Amino acid sequence: MDKLNSKKFGIASGITGIIVYILCFLLMTILGKDALGKLANLLFHGIDFSNILRMDIQISETLIGIVVSFFFWGLTGYLLSFFYNKIKD
């Protein structure tokens, strides 16, 4: 297998992080607190999310979350491909 382009992999990971973040935001908006709590409890069995869900998230927080998600997942993807390329050699 060829080396991974760390910059491209990082950008792709960042964009994927944004998509997941926006989908989560849409799920929160569409489902509402009760259904979202049930879904979260199904996905993360053993943890009760019903008491910690916060539905009054401002749009500014959402926009900041999108930017932070891009950088966090972009850096994660960059580092993952960087170390993959180093180990592969």
pLDDT in tens, 28-56: 999 999 999 989 988 888 888 888 899 88
Give this prediction's pTM.
Answer: 0.84
Whether 62 is in a domain gets the answer yes
DSSP conformation class of 50:
T
> Does residue 17 fall inside a structural domain?
yes
Confidence band of 73 (pLDDT split at 50, 70, 90):
very high
The first and second tokens of residue 5, run together, are: 């382009």
The parent domain of residue 19 ranges over 6-88
Q: Which two tokens stand for residue 75?
A: 């850096």
The residue type of 38 is: K
Give me the number of domains the chain comprises. 1
Torsion (CA) 21, 66, 37, 51 in degrees, nearest 10: 150
Does position 1 have pLDDT exceeding 90, yes or no?
Answer: no
Q: Residue 1: inside a domain, yes or no? A: no
8 A C-beta contact, residue 12 and residue 19: no
